[in-house]
Amino acid sequence: VNAAEQLRQDINTLSPDLLIVELEHLAGVPSPREVLQAARMLLDTGGALLITGKSAQLAHFERSPDGFRPETSKKYKGYKSVLLNRV
């Protein structure tokens, strides 16, 4: 059981309305693909995923990742925040 599956079991049938992730490009930190996979498992339809990090790392989140719809994004001095809604 991975961490996202364990968390989903721990919170039973309740699903969070919002997940906030700060993406860092460091060894051992989950990749964007892993973040999206976990968010798909944890969020129900209508839930939101807010991701922040370096602009270059978040570039592909602005396209429509499977299971999410981009709502808005904001860039400031090399950093970016992207808000995605679960569909």
Query: When comparing pLDDT for 29 and 39, which is higher?
Result: 39
Cα radius of gyration (the chain):
13
Task: For residue 36, give the amino acid letter.
Answer: L
61-84 pLDDT tens trace: 766 688 899 899 999 999 999 999
**pTM of the entire predicted model:** 0.77
Q: How far apart are CA 51 and CA 80, in angstroms?
A: 8
Q: What band does 87 get if pLDDT is binned at 50, 70 and 90?
A: very high
